[in-house]
Amino acid sequence: MATGQIFSRTTQALFYNYKQLPIQRMLDFDFLCGRETPSVAGIINPGSEGFQKLFFGQEEIAIPVHSSIEAASSAHPTADVFINFASFRSAAASSMAALKQPTIRVVAIIAEGVPESDTKQLIAYARANNKVVLGPATVGGIQAGAFKIGDTAGTLDNIINCKLYRPGSVGFVSKSGGMSNELYNTIARVTNGIYEGIAIGGDVFPGSTLSDHVLRFNNIPQVKMIVVLGELGGRDEYSLVEALKEGKIHKPVVAWVSGTCARLFKSEVQFGHAGAKSGGELESAQAKNQALKEAGAVVPTSYEAFETAIKETFDKLAEEGKITPVPDIKPPAIPEDLSIAIKSGKVRAPTHIISTISDDRGDEPCYAGVPMSTIIERGFNVGDVISLLWFKRSLPRYCTQFIEICVMLCADHGPCVSGAHNTIVTARAGKDLVSSLVSGLLTIGPRFGGAIDDAARYFKDAYDRGLSPYEFVEGMKRKGIRVPGIGHRIKSRDNRDKRVQLLQQYAHNNFPSVKYMEYAVQVENYTLSKANNLVLNVDGAIGSLFLDLLSGSGMFTKPEIDEIVDIGYLNGLFVLARSIGLIGHTFDQKRLKQPLYRHPWEDVLYTK
């Protein structure tokens, strides 16, 4: 268990099982406190990935969504709080997975009814690894002016009324989340406010105890006094009694254990929480209050006198000069949501598109954060611009030059290939440039220029799995799949594609590794033993070499490389390159004023 502060103004959390309202309340609290960065770093929604749009003040932000706890923890190593909104059925498993992440220090479990055996395992693991568990059945916790969990402290109006947007001097811990809100108001009325407030949860076995947090508060210099609200049932309060008797707590403690009315009932009564039922005299509210009083805590005669006891303790500390006045500040106004703003005449509208590659706001456009003036001043070339807009990073010069070589070599392959033929026919029909270009681009696919991604995907899978060329090729044959990147209609063993040779030569001279290309060549050697035209074609060369570029540059993770291939980045190179040639064919036909094309009869086989 931590021995001091567990939250700060820079604390960030991972939020499990997306809930819009609690997250928005956290972000609104961040803005209210003047935080520079949102407290929610990422959202975990099993099986989903992408972004969720939420508001940070007036600004709309995109928070990443991850499909697993491991992926989120890896992507956000500074997020050390895990807020678990899973149901009681899965809360234990997901909480344990979070506790096992080295970056996670605090886990808050919101669900009620988590099996006690599972909770005990969580507690044991957390204590063995010096981590903090809040809950189960907790609303969370708050550090005033810094960080709050989910729905802690309720609405913004309540937070403002309780002055939780700035730190006070009182450490508060309770079993009940609902009663916490009441005590935040009480404490704000008679003191300078809360510094930190924790609801440990109302289940029989809470992940951390009242005394755990009181001992923490004792070690936080900004906390000058401590307020504790317990309840009948269980014996948690007695660990606090022992700490007081042993002199471990040096700050005034004002405590009350609720449930004194239980003696008015003839039979045992369950008071809301699973743990709020008396199992004997020692677990009664009266016995606990008496024990706390005898141990040195300030214990009022009733709940109604609790506020007075808090005030008197605070005033005494102030008179002794142990508490300095906290200057009051006016928090910023939080923009209203659309449904409310429509009624009041104030509106904030959500955006409809997320963009991460360019920004045209401000004085000049930026590509992946690089201003246009920098691109020009540093002499960036087309390959550099592609690396910024496609890969969102500046690749080394040998990489960007390779991209340019691919574009140049694939720009055109004569008027007879299907794409150029379609563009020529469309241009001669009098259609405009865009129509002519698109008619050619639409032919790109598995049979024409669209095999780069497939070549990269199959070569990578085969190489990574350690398949020999024989195993790879014969395996594809059994599946009825032609090997992408192998075979040509006019090129052969004795008439190699010059483009492939140029790409291979450049890679050998500039790439740190060409393992995928060498594997593709081994595959080619095997396929040539079957037929003279089963050579490595330009699709296969670009596909294999781009794998070498991505893996050899050291700038991409394995998941990023897989995503690049899956999305279609490599086919994008062919589309970009061939667009240059198709535009050229359009202009060529229009410049030559060619008439409408009609295919000659003699080139058609008419048959029944």
Provide the annotated active-site residues.
273
Q: Which residues contact 586 (CB under 8 A, 6 or more apart)?
A: 423, 426, 427, 433, 436, 437
Name the token pair of 8: 């700060």
Note the Cα 155 to chain centre separation in Å: 26
Instruction: Count Cβ neighbours within 10 Å for each residue of 585-598 and write b for 16 or more, e otherwise.
Output: bbeebeeeeeeeee
Structural element, H or E, at residue 109: strand 106-109
Phi, psi of 560 (to 5 degrees): -65, -40
* Pairing of the two strands 225-231 and 50-56: unpaired
Structural element, H or E, at residue 311: helix 306-319
Q: Are 199 and 152 in contact (CB under 8 A)?
A: yes
Q: Which residues contact 232 (CB under 8 A, 6 or more apart)?
A: 257, 258, 259, 260, 262, 271, 276, 277, 278, 283, 284, 285, 288
Q: Which residues contact 53 (CB under 8 A, 6 or more apart)?
A: 60, 61, 62, 63, 350, 351, 354
For residues 209 and 5, what is the distance between their CA atoms, to the nearest angstrom? 15
Largest pairwise CA distance in the chain: 111
SS3 at position 326? coil
For residues 430 and 596, what is the distance between their CA atoms, to the nearest angstrom? 8
262 sits in the region (left: phi over 0; alpha: psi -120 to 50; else beta) called alpha
Among 48, 49, 93, 99, which residue's Cα sits nearest to residue 73? 99
Phi, psi of 249 (to 5 degrees): -115, 120
Phi, psi of 21 (to 5 degrees): -65, -50
* Pairing of the two strands 358-359 and 366-367: antiparallel
SS3 at position 502? helix
Among 129, 118, 180, which residue's Cα sits nearest to residue 150? 180
Q: Are 184 and 229 in contact (CB under 8 A)?
A: no
Q: Are 429 and 517 in contact (CB under 8 A)?
A: no
Q: Are 326 and 168 in contact (CB under 8 A)?
A: yes
Q: Which residues contact 605 (CB under 8 A, 6 or more apart)?
A: none
| DSSP-derived secondary structure for 434-489 | HHHHHHHHTT-BTTBB--HHHHHHHHHHHHHTT--HHHHHHHHHHHT---TTB--S
For residues 367 and 373, what is the distance between their CA atoms, to the nearest angstrom? 11
